[in-house]
Structure 1
Amino acid sequence: MFNERRQASAGEGRKKTLIKRYIISQPSIWCPGHKVIQCEGTPFLWVNCKMYKHIHLQTGSRTGPVVAAVKAEHFRRNFRYILGNPDCTEKGVWSTAHNTSFWGEKKYRFQVPTTGAWYEWRRTHNNELGAKRFGKNSFKLIDANGDVEKVLAAFIYRQSIFGHMHEFGSLDCFEKMEEELEIVSLLVLLGIQNAIRRKSGG
């Protein structure tokens, strides 16, 4: 098992083939909680974050129907997420994204509700994926089912005080994934970015 994981890690340095890219943009630098997610130039999800605590994913527009949500809780390392409108869904169906880092927001494990499969967002500095050496906002998505780790996607943080003020980052997919996994991964990723922002006070 140890050797297999080493082989998987060694293979990670190879250039990945991009099959899909989501662009996450921030319409205003003064409203970091509001974002738009685009695929192939077409907006399809709007992100609204209220008081660092609640994140809603909405379709159609910024005021459209809520299709998923994240709930952060003060003084807790984990956060909860749900597919569907939380106001129309039973309280017990929330899932938990587990912060498994010894310190900070480096690793989060989560499940896809319908399949029970485990995945992990893990901080990366791999320049082959496009990440910066000293950044804290770029993450890779790991398939945590089985002994061999597989990188499915990477979120590359791109926001800068120069140039691309409104581009928050991109989610690059290297493997074909089911739609539910893509949405849950996006949801948990937004929860992680919110946790980092809460901690930094930004």
Structure 2
Amino acid sequence: MTTGGVPMVEWGVAREDAELAVLAVHGRGQDPSFMRQTADRFGAAPVRFHAPEAADNTWYPQPFLATIEANQPALDTSLGVIGECVAQLEFSGFPPERVVLWGFSQGACLLSHYVLTTAPRRFGGIVLFTGGYLGTEALRPPDGEPLRGVAAVVRSIEEDPFVPPHRVEDTAAALRGAGASVDLRIDPGTEHIITDEACEAATNLLAARHSRG
């Protein structure tokens, strides 16, 4: 766990041996242990995971398709937590270009919104499992393609009970509009799950990012 700032649960290779840091953001009603269990399904990679925990295990109160106002002030608070985590990682030796953002469900929604509205920049990669940006309105990509060269893996389930495929597709389009290279796949099904293929795709992104140095 980090000292000072936002507490984060850490696991993976030793910090001095890690080529990348992964900021792992859990979903509603979950905690960092869920992300750690899911990371165990990834292949080996020279990365160190860092996972903050939301107050009461919820980053914002209402569904992500509600108005932005309906999720305030919790949304801005949670976006600030993500920003502080990124700052702490940079202080510990992982600048944004060596940080991969990874979220599931509400965590994927929060990271989508963060990277498209709050801090669009060249991160080491983006992995979004079953989530999309927040709000009722279509989100205009940030100007200037600030995500140019950033690889993004976006995965979801066609009939997921909480996340409709159109918002996942719209989020992928916004990421592309910001310059990211997006690998989008929506598999058939009705459950709110992370597939083995999604874990493999995340592993491949980490391996590819590592091979580029």
Q: Which has the larger radius of gyration?
A: 1
More strand by share: 1
More helix by share: 2
